[in-house]
Amino acid sequence: RQPSLPSPNPEVKLHLISPRITLKRSMMTTFRACIAISLLLYLSLAHQAMAFCVEKCRRRQHVSGLHLGFYRFDTESNSANNANSASLDSASLSLDNSDASLNELVPQITSLDGLDEYLDFLGGDPDDDRLTVIKFYASWCKSCAKFGLRYKKLALEEGDKVKNGKLIAPGRVRFAEVEFGANARLCRSFGIKRLPYIHMHKGSAGKVEDFVCGPKKFQQLVDKVNEYADMSVDDAMLKKELEKGDALGNEVIRELRGEQSATNATQVFRI
Q: Is the pLDDT of residue 184 over 90?
A: yes
Q: Is the pLDDT of residue 135 over 80?
A: yes
- pLDDT for res 185: 93
- pLDDT for res 66: 37
Quick check: helix, strand or coil at residue 169? strand
* Angstrom distance (rounded) from CA 79 to CA 81: 5
C-alpha R_g of the chain: 41
- Helical H runs in 124-232? 142-158, 184-189, 218-228
- pLDDT for res 20: 62
pLDDT band at 253, cuts 50/70/90? low
Q: Give the closest residue to 121 by CA, choosing from 136, 132, 137, 129.
A: 132
* Angstrom distance (rounded) from CA 111 to CA 109: 6
* Angstrom distance (rounded) from CA 151 to CA 196: 11
**Which residues make beta-bridge pairs with 255?**
none
pTM recorded for the entire structure: 0.55
pLDDT band at 92, cuts 50/70/90? very low
* CA dist 133 → 47, 52, 108 (Å): 60, 53, 12
pLDDT band at 111, cuts 50/70/90? very high
Which of 85-94, 221-230, 232-241, 256-265 is predicted with the least confidence, judged by mean pLDDT? Answer: 85-94
Q: Is the pLDDT of residue 192 over 80?
A: yes
Select the more confidently predicted residue: 271 or 169: 169
